[in-house]
């Protein structure tokens, strides 16, 4: 029985949490365990800021990187004290990135970004691996970039399946230890450059490994008790879901729920490998199980997307919106990888709700301004309620709703984000 554990950044937030990880592993039953580590809490964001400052030739870049390095060395020293040899080894791991940022940036920002941010997971997983060894928990550290081969669409790379499958087949044979410690989110191009799978991509790595290794389950260790029906910070009625079907998880992530990375379900759905979402703070509590089980009764599930804009495209000559108009507008969205979060069509208008991104919005405008009268409203909030009830509908009456669409299961509405 092979199990996959994924520890996100929050689960690797500090020394105590890494110690807790060790307890969790010791209490678990498995034949083989593959542990996927994210970068330490907030490190991917910090490295992204460093990549930006490197790209903009800022002098402070090296200083910021040194700070981030010493944060890792400190955590490492608390977990595995007085091991200068291991500290030196960690220093060597950072060296390549250090050389990279001492050099001039390449033209492609996303290429630079991936070379820099990948060190976050390399360092965190290395520290966890040495700590477990120090606790006499034998394990092998694996550089997943030797296995996860991608194209070179930096920062949102696509897995090259034939090559990756072939390599992953050998993973468990190459490393015979019971526990493997590796990274999520990162991969390698065929030219041996680091790539990344998109933010929060380590969930996706966990699913790919589960599928290729025919794991019996995947557990996502998080700082929440499981998947919640809505954001507990905004809603006192938020409750933990005991079960979620794959289908519902796909729906929720489509509408923007941050439960798991949207690509995560696809690799494991055929093999029906269950996912467990659990709290590393209360490992004894059952979290949420995501599985093939259908016919689950759900409370209303609410997903909120902030920082939305509405774009309205109106025909110039009072003609009706035609299929030609739809295809023209959606082609521009596709060219810029923009997802419409809400789509409405009227006699003379196509109305879209999308994430605000000023640069992309300008591109849409210049591509379509000759064909349509375009207007834009900002600072909006899109709320999606799956499995809405009559209560949901009643509550809407007291809100200033700008747009609303619904079918039997899903209700979406746009309000001012005050
Ligand atoms: N460390 C990466 C991020 O914060 C990937 C991940 O944690 O899934 O996006
Ligand atoms: Mg994460």
Q: Tens digits of per-residue pLDDT, 199-214? A: 989 999 999 999 999 9
335-388 pLDDT tens trace? 998 999 999 999 999 999 999 998 889 999 999 999 999 999 999 999 999 999
Ligand 1 in reach of 187 Cβ (< 6 A) = no
Q: 45, 199, 203, 259: which to mutate for ligand 1, most atoms within 8 A of CB?
A: 199
Whose alpha carbon is nearest atom 6 of ligand 1?
A: 200
d(CA 189, CA 159): 9
Question: What is the CA(39)–ligand 2 centre distance, in A?
Answer: 9
pLDDT at 418 over 70: no
What is the average pLDDT score of the chain? Answer: 95
214-246 pLDDT tens trace? 999 999 999 889 999 998 888 888 999 999 999
Find the ligand nearest to 264 CA: 1
**Section 143-148 average pLDDT:** 98
Ligand 1 in reach of 8 Cβ (< 6 A) = yes
- Inter-residue contact 402 to 414 (CB < 8 Å): yes
Alpha helices in 103-260 (DSSP H): 109-134, 161-168, 171-174, 202-212, 246-254
Whose alpha carbon is nearest atom 3 of ligand 1?
A: 200
Ligand 1 in reach of 274 Cβ (< 6 A) = no
Strand order through the sheet with 410-416: 342-345, 349-355, 301-315, 372-386, 410-416, 401-406
Check: pTM over 0.85? Answer yes or no: yes
Q: How confident is the model at residue 164 (pLDDT cuts 50, 70, 90)?
A: very high
CA triple 284-234-390, angle to 5 deg: 100
pLDDT for 320 equals 97
Maximum Cα–Cα distance across the chain: 77
Q: Measure Cα distances from 74 to 10, 63, 251, 297 in Å.
A: 18, 17, 42, 47
SS3 175: coil
Ligand 1 in reach of 38 Cβ (< 6 A) = yes
Show the domains of the chain with their CATH numbers.
2-291 (3.40.1160.10), 301-416 (3.30.2130.10)
């Amino acid at each position: 029985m092979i199990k996959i554990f994924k520890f996100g950044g929050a689960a690797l937030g500090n020394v105590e949490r890494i110690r807790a990880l060790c307890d969790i592993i010791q209490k678990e039953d498995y034949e083989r365990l593959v542990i996927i580590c994210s970068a330490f809490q907030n490190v991917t964001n910090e490295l992204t800021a460093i990549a930006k400052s490197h790209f903009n030739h800022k002098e402070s870049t090296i200083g910021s990187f040194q700070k981030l390095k010493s944060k890792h060395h400190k955590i490492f020293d608390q977990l595995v004290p007085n091991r200068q040899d291991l500290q030196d080894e960690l220093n060597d791991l950072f060296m390549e990135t250090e050389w990279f940022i001492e050099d001039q940036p390449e033209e492609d920002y996303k290429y630079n970004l991936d070379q820099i941010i990948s060190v976050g997971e390399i360092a965190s997983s290395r520290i966890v691996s040495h700590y477990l060894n120090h606790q006499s928990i034998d394990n092998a550290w694996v550089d997943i970039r030797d296995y996860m081969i991608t194209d070179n669409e930096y920062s949102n790379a696509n897995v090259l399946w034939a090559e990756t499958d072939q390599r992953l087949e050998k993973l468990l044979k190459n490393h015979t230890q019971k526990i493997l410690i590796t990274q999520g989110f990162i991969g390698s191009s065929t030219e041996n450059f680091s790539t990344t799978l998109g933010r929060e991509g380590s969930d996706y790595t966990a699913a790919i490994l589960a599928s290729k290794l025919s794991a019996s389950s995947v557990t996502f260790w998080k700082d929440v008790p499981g998947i919640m029906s809505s954001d507990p910070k905004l809603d006192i009625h938020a409750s933990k879901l005991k079960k979620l079907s794959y289908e519902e998880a796909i729906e929720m992530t489509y509408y923007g729920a941050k439960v798991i990375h949207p690509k995560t379900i696809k690799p494991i759905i055929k093999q029906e490998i269950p996912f467990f979402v659990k709290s590393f703070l209360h490992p004894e509590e059952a979290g949420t199980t995501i599985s093939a089980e259908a016919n689950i009764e759900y409370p209303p599930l609410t997903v909120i997307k902030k920082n939305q804009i509405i774009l309205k495209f109106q025909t110039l000559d009072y003609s009706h919106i035609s299929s030609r108009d739809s295809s023209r507008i959606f082609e521009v969205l596709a060219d810029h990888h923009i997802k419409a979060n809400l789509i409405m069509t009227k006699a003379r208008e196509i109305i879209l709700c999308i994430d605000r991104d000023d640069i992309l919005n300008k591109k849409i405008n210049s591509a379509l301004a000759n064909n349509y009268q375009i207007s834009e409203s900002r600072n909006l909030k899109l709320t999606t309620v799956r499995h809405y009830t009559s209560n949901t509908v009643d509550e809407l009456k007291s809100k200033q709703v700008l747009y609303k669409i619904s079918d039997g299961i899903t209700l979406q509405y746009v309000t001012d984000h005050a």
